[in-house]
Chain A
């Protein structure tokens, strides 16, 4: 599934300084607000997330219940806040654990070439080509349903795209004068890779990670929606949406409103990624 994010990635244009443009700012505000609200859930949430009030079943959104209540009379807004927290934490984990591993593997493949490159690149190709969701589901079948399977499964396949990008970057960086200089100066290969090549390689991967986060976020919520991720009674956006599905007709708010939070978070991350990758909302790659 991450291969699609690679396509979404805008061509990277080198910039001397990190100038934050409007797109990035808008994206950052959206993401910042959602993250803040999610992490302040214990303070902001008007009700405990799992408090069932059977007299308040399926209430439409109102000032008392901003997103209404579900079939057990639980406040959907409070559950969404707590749920978003789970999604965000798992998303960060499954994105930023494989990132350094992939970058390192790709950097080594690009730097050393030969059989190191062959093994790493082929393995990465296999991982990228494979249906990501099916792979993660197979891993969940092994470890059993729950967030544990999600947190093992996604990183197992997630490193591959970072490796491919880092390898491509390394092939370019390797030929730069400053890298040639590290050899002339007799620096160790470790120092050359970590101190001199890594900063420029990492940047591409970090920009791309914003899109990877979207993909992973949707994957985590999707797996939980299928009943393979977060297990009840814990609240997570995918499970909240799944629970509301039977009430689509009489209580549309249970499924749709928490979904909007997912969309908003994804759009925010997408704007950041778009803005960072070309520094221009309108896209300059065509000029």
Chain B
């Protein structure tokens, strides 16, 4: 088991390294002069030369690579070109709303998705199952930004329950400003949660321990609510962790829709202004998040499911 964990950790480190190396290449893949692109046509030659030496672009590639990797893994990301601020400061300022939005969105996906999956799995091919199948086909096809706008139109403008955009801190501000974007994010994930969990529940419901529970005369509610759900929790955690990349993408778009000052809007600005160091850093962080989340999921699975432990020892 410990060899499994070590192997898993080693793979994660290698992938992280590859990711950072790939993002180092970003600025070097820009056609033409990246510094000129960043500064625009109004830049003087002195400006360009000074930014170039700030970024270390005048040094040998291998030298630059060493510095970049060293800085990335010690958390020194350098300065943003357009905002003229250390990237580390920008990120610590912006990461809070994004993390909260993702967690709140997952919460919505679960409280909407899990009951629907159970309802669908209780009577496969039944009426509820069909309705849920068609409904998830719809939510899957909805662009998150459009759904966000429609929800803002209904709950924000028509009913006036939530503000249409902006971000406030504190518990009240959290519920006021993040509920609509999180609901949108959650709804966009519901289809995946429902479909995967439904399939898994059907597998579990057909297994022997459920038959045994029924044979012991337990109520159907207890059989499904306790015995079947417990064996499907891992699937649900896995769905969420596999979709973390999707959730990050959804957050980027929804932060823009609802004008939330998070990592997503920071990335959009960075891409629009072609602030290459900032884009590279956010890209590495996004990838690292996925790697860490999938590592944690694997370890949770290892702790919870004896079958995984046995298979690897």
Chain A interface (Cβ < 8 Å from any Cβ of B): 1, 3-4, 7-8, 11, 126, 129-135, 137-138, 140-145, 214, 218, 221-222, 225-228, 238, 241, 245, 248-249, 252, 255-256, 259, 262-263, 265-267, 269-271, 274, 281-283, 285-287
Binds A, one of B179-187, B224-232, B274-282: B274-282
- Which of chain B's residues has its CB closest to A269's CB? B141
**DSSP majority for the B interface?**
helix
How close is A243's CB to chain B, nearest CB, in angstroms? 12
- Which of chain A's residues has its CB closest to B143's CB? A218
B268 at the interface (CB under 8 A from A): yes
Give every chain A residue within 8 A of B237 (Cβ-Cβ). Answer: none
Which of A8, A141, A283 is close to B191, meaning CB atoms less than 8 Å apart? A8
Which of B124, B246, B267, B289 is close to A132, meaning CB atoms less than 8 Å apart? B246
Beyond A7-B242, A218-B143, A227-B272, whether A126 also contacts B248 by CB under 8 A is no
Give every chain A residue within 8 A of B291 (Cβ-Cβ). Answer: 129
Which of B26, B149, B196 is close to A256, meaning CB atoms less than 8 Å apart? B149
B270 at the interface (CB under 8 A from A): yes
A285 touches B199 (CB 8 A): yes
CA distance A218 to B148 in the complex (A): 14
- Which of chain A's residues has its CB closest to B189's CB? A4
CA distance A238 to B146 in the complex (A): 9
Beyond A222-B253, A228-B271, A270-B140, whether A134 also contacts B248 by CB under 8 A is yes
B137 at the interface (CB under 8 A from A): yes
A7 touches B196 (CB 8 A): yes
Beyond A222-B145, A248-B149, A256-B153, whether A134 also contacts B140 by CB under 8 A is no
B243 touches A3 (CB 8 A): yes
B242 touches A141 (CB 8 A): no
B124 touches A283 (CB 8 A): yes
Beyond A3-B243, A252-B153, whether A131 also contacts B144 by CB under 8 A is no
B149 touches A255 (CB 8 A): yes
Give every chain B residue within 8 A of A267 (Cβ-Cβ). Answer: 137-138, 141
Give every chain B residue within 8 A of A131 (Cβ-Cβ). Answer: 244-246, 248-249, 286-287, 289-290
- Which of chain B's residues has its CB closest to A228's CB? B271
Interface centre among B37, B248, B271, B291 (most CB of A within 10 A): B271
B149 touches A134 (CB 8 A): no
CA distance A1 to B249 in the complex (A): 7
Give every chain A residue within 8 A of B245 (Cβ-Cβ). Answer: 1, 3, 129-132, 134
A214 touches B140 (CB 8 A): yes
Residues of B within 8 Å of A, CB-based: how many? 64
A241 touches B146 (CB 8 A): yes
Give every chain A residue within 8 A of B207 (Cβ-Cβ). Answer: none
B15 touches A126 (CB 8 A): yes
Give every chain A residue within 8 A of B137 (Cβ-Cβ). Answer: 267, 270-271, 274
Interface centre among A7, A11, A138, A282 (most CB of B within 10 A): A138
How close is A229's CB to chain B, nearest CB, in angstroms? 11
Binds A, one of B48-56, B87-95, B125-133, B170-178: B125-133
Apart from A214-B140, A283-B124, list 8 A-B contacts with CB within 8 A. Answer: A8-B140, A137-B279, A218-B143, A222-B143, A248-B152, A259-B143, A265-B141, A274-B133
Give every chain A residue within 8 A of B157 (Cβ-Cβ). Answer: 248-249
Beyond A131-B245, A133-B252, A214-B141, whether A248 also contacts B164 by CB under 8 A is yes
How close is A268's CB to chain B, nearest CB, in angstroms? 8
- Which of chain A's residues has its CB closest to B294's CB? A129
How close is B240's CB to chain A, nearest CB, in angstroms? 11
Give every chain A residue within 8 A of B308 (Cβ-Cβ). Answer: none
- Which of chain B's residues has its CB closest to A225's CB? B145
B192 touches A8 (CB 8 A): yes
B142 at the interface (CB under 8 A from A): yes
B31 at the interface (CB under 8 A from A): yes
A266 touches B249 (CB 8 A): no
- Which of chain B's residues has its CB closest to A249's CB? B157
Which of B23, B242, B268 is close to A3, meaning CB atoms less than 8 Å apart? B242
How close is B195's CB to chain A, nearest CB, in angstroms? 6
Which of B150, B164, B256, B290 is close to A226, meaning CB atoms less than 8 Å apart? B256
CA distance A222 to B280 in the complex (A): 21
